[in-house]
Amino acid sequence: MDIILIVAFLVAIFMGLNIGGNNAAASMGAAYGAKVRTKYQAVLLIGVFSLLGAVFSGGEVIKTLGTGILPEGTILLEGATVAVGAAGITLFLANILRIPVSTSQAAVGAVVGIGFFYGASQVNVPLLGKIVVWWIVTPVTAWLLAYLMGKYLYTDILVWIADHHESEAAIRRSLSVLLTISGCYVAYSAGANNAGNAVGPLVGAGAMLSLDGAILGGIAIGFGALLMGGRVLDTVGNEITELCVIRATFVEFISAIMVHAASIFGVPVSLGEIVAAGVIGIGCANSGMHIIRGEVVKKILIAWVVSPLLAGTVAYVLMRLI
């Protein structure tokens, strides 16, 4: 049992590192693309504020993944380790391919895979349906809000900013501060929502307390952002569409509010999905669909579909082998 517990902790850390490298890194993609922050500054802010978010606001999502989708006591320590490990393997592959896939979808898919191993009747279908609805609504809303802002409000915002600042340098300083605040808020929300993806099943199995899990998950996410975050920053910030500071700020605020709201309700959602949808919406409003690099977007969409199915399948197969 001691060996299994050690393996469980190592798997949770592995998952947290990959979350930091993938989804949490996407929180600074907009600002990095707008050239307001360097890659080092971006990943450092992600690391600090992801930890704070996990500790202070991560409890509800941990509860959902630990005892919400499957009844308390269903997943034992071995199953929890397999669930987190299966999701971690999925994210590790995505990091190698530089694709900002959904951490939450991989984590939920893995837990559902464990549930099918014990019997499909164990899965909380109404809660799962609620989570899937959030997965659909949040990126669509992010795209729509970003598109409307870019299409109808952007010019008015530029005029208002110009009227209330003395020089272009003053405008740049104000927007940089605003973008820094919004990016830190996104990273905080990412930590709150994603810590449960790393430790939720282990908390549900009784391997650790919720607060201890939040601290462990937050630290791992922070280190993951520092070690591996730069690769996904390039994909989200540079390879989808060009961003200015105002558009990047708006994308970050949209993403932060949505993810934070989901965390309050205990719903694990995809930060990478929401950020990418906002970036795409801004790009469509700015210059039309032709500026979107279709292959990149297609790659991301495929990964969003594949990640929960792959994680669930890996979890189920591993349980059968064990």
Q: Tell me what pLDDT residue 2 has.
A: 79
* Model pLDDT for residues 157-214, shown as the tens digit of each residue: 888 888 888 888 888 788 878 877 888 898 899 899 988 998 999 998 888 888 899 9
- Retrieve residue 260's tokens: 């934070």
pLDDT at 145: 93
Distances (CA, A) of 90 to 188, 256, 282: 23, 24, 29
pLDDT score, position 239: 54
The arithmetic mean of pLDDT across residues 19-35, rounded, is: 67
33-50 pLDDT tens trace: 667 777 777 778 878 898
Total of domains in the chain: 1
Domain that holds residue 93: 2-321
Structure tokens at 266: 């205990």
Residue 238 confidence class, pLDDT cut points 50, 70, 90? low
Cα–Cα dist 224/47, whole Å: 8
17 vs 36: CA distance, rounded Å: 25
From residue 296, how far is each of 71, 129, 181, 322 by CA, in Å? 39, 29, 28, 37
pLDDT tier at 296 (50, 70, 90 boundaries)? low
Residue-wise pLDDT for 213-223, tens only, equals 999 988 888 88
- The per-residue pLDDT of the chain, averaged, comes to 83
